[in-house]
Chains A and B, each alone.
Chain A
Amino acid sequence: MGNERLTGRPLCAYKEGMSQPNFCELDVLDLVPFGQSGKESRFFALRLTRPDWHIWQPGQFVMLRPDNFGLDLPWARPFGICHMTARHMICFFQVRGRGTQRMSRLRAGDRVRAWGPLGQGFVMEPDSPTLLLAGGMGIVPFVGYVNLHPKPWNVSMLFGHREHISCYPVDSINEHVPVDSLREQQSGDLDNFIYTIQERMRDLAEQQGLVLACGPTPFMRTVQTFAAELGVRCQLSLENRMACGVGACLGCVARTSSSWPDPHKRDSPVQVCTHGPVFWADHVVL
């Protein structure tokens, strides 16, 4: 097992116009376990044949439903798009429950139904100092982000994680932008991480920079609070439970704040799958 790089010439993003979500049946090319050798892996890079969409933005996601879900797991699962080339699409996942458990048993040639690219990705401002804040699997959209950023020297990343660093696709980011990683192992580590987030966000606020964050909800709440205190521009990516991914089932909603742009939709539930998953931090209530 190795912390392999998710390589290949990336496909264009941030083109003009909206991408249209598409449905396709993809084949598994391979499933690469990540993490320390000798241990059963719970982290995987899933490489699929390339779907027939051309434009995507990091932060957007795809619904995946492998054939081995059968009828007993009716829903597809949402995953960030990690990387896309002319030949393949890569998603990266951690085993959490029933669905990801079955995904960990996928083999080359297995079929996966996929629809995407879905939702709104992160903004990219090549000339703004940009701080990426990732918690655990929240690292995924940033692999594509740093790959596609035209001026990576303006970007840096702070990464908080619980498992060994080799479980995460950090090398794919490291080769473009510097990554400071902090592992949470004992009490005190979390406080230290939170303190570091605040300090780094303060720097960004002084530089009129941009903060982009992705990770578990408590982490997003912390970042949101700091963003408000420091007055720094900040986007957050939310992880809500999803069934359709296209705005139809109304299962994934988050509450907008009174700063939501459309006055009719303030203080109301909106679909995370279509209005998000990436939101401006002051637009939602967590």
Chain B
Amino acid sequence: MDLSLTLKGQVCDLHLKNPVLTASGTFGYGLEFSTFGDLATLGGLVVKGLSLKPRQGNAVPRIVETTAGMLNAVGLQNDGVEVFCTEKLPRLPWRDTAIIANIYAASVEEFAALAARLDGEEGVAALEVNVSCPNVKAGGALFGQDAHLAAAVTSAVRAAAPHKHIMVKLSPNVTDIALIARSVEDAGADSISCINTLLGMAVNLSTRRPALANVVGGLSGPAIKPVALRCVWQVAQAVSVPVVGLGGILSAEDALEFLLVGASAVQVGTGNFLRPDCAFALAAELPAACERLGITDVTAFRGSLQWDTAC
């Protein structure tokens, strides 16, 4: 079964050999997982969030296991875009799989500078814009929680990287995700991925302290799948650009649930920690899962959810 697809963007398309990608921050730069499977069998891989300058991230503890999930407050530690382009990218199989650079910044200008730096990199197939980060200049409000700010980032990145597919990654920590989705689509996004982590916290009863040094962190893993499905379903109805779904995906069946509610492709995140071959196994099993469920035409299956009562 041919599962290849093209995410048809408003400006740039993104071709994927299959709909299985790995999620930013859970798969390193891909190289960390290259002994557990063949990276070239994945539809694509989204690398750890890149910033213009290297960042040290938050204090430890940065991660904590919760029931059917985990919280992280890594604080976007990374080596910076230069090190990525010169040391990591050349070692990745970018001719055989789509390498997607996840980017984040503290201001609209910085987002544009990052996008411009990556626009000329042949090995980068697309940029995924992480708007779930604070806008330092605007008092720390998250870009992704304000439709105007999210649109401003999107159009700045769009203009700075005219040769790249621009995927905007939405935060679920908003009142109306469809509203944000529409505004980034209007601002020129080629596709939308969702969801990023849900804001949460955990505490330690014996020490009476928060479990994370940062106090709050982002919840991910199987626990968030229902929220993710709901978000993807709402976004897919609100926009006409392709949607990439993620949040708690572990199996081929999970992936197909996201396609059913309207996703074109999926990303595997925390699943990579349950077993490091999770994404590879999922990609390999997808054709058999389709067959089991009688899905002969994946394109027709996408977004084919039927429901009775609208909400």
Contact = CB atoms under 8 A, between A and B. Distances in A.
Nearest to B72: A251
Contacts of A193: none
Interface stretch (B59-67, B139-147, B233-241): B59-67
Interface stretch (A18-26, A32-40, A85-93, A120-128): A18-26
B165 to A, nearest CB: 24
Nearest to A63: B276
Given A244-B272, A269-B77, A73 B35 contact: no
B72 A65 contact: no
A182 interface: no
B221 interface: yes
Q: Is the interface of A mostly helix, strand, loop or mixed?
A: loop
A113 B273 CA distance: 11
B36 to A, nearest CB: 5
Nearest to A21: B35
A75 B273 contact: yes
A76 interface: yes
A247 interface: yes
A22 B67 CA distance: 27
B77 A248 contact: no
A240 B60 contact: yes
Nearest to B274: A74
A116 to B, nearest CB: 10
B214 to A, nearest CB: 12
A243 interface: yes
A248 B27 contact: yes
Given A71-B222, A74-B221, A23 B28 contact: no
B89 interface: no
B275 interface: yes
Contacts of B27: 248
A253 B62 contact: yes
B60 A244 contact: no
A208 interface: no
Nearest to B83: A264
Given A74-B65, A269-B56, A247 B270 contact: no
Nearest to A253: B60
B25 A74 contact: no
How big is the A interface, by class? 20 to 34
B68 A71 contact: yes
A241 B59 CA distance: 13
Given A74-B69, A75-B70, A243-B63, A248 B35 contact: no
Contact of B222 (A74, A75, A252): A74
Given A71-B222, A246-B32, A115 B276 contact: yes
Nearest to A247: B32
A249 interface: yes
Nearest to A115: B276
A74 B221 CA distance: 8
Interface of B: 25-28, 32-33, 35-36, 48, 56-57, 60-65, 67-70, 72, 74, 77, 221-222, 250, 270, 272-277
26 contacts: A21-B35, A21-B36, A22-B36, A23-B276, A72-B67, A74-B70, A74-B222, A75-B70, A76-B273, A115-B36, A115-B275, A240-B60, A241-B60, A243-B70, A248-B26, A248-B28, A249-B25, A249-B26, A249-B72, A250-B62, A250-B74, A251-B60, A251-B61, A251-B74, A269-B56, A269-B60
**Complex A-B, nearest 8 residue pairs according to Cβ-Cβ distance, in ascending order:** A251-B63, A248-B28, A248-B32, A20-B35, A246-B32, A243-B273, A250-B74, A75-B65
Interface of A: 20-23, 65, 71-76, 113, 115, 240-241, 243-244, 246-254, 268-269, 274
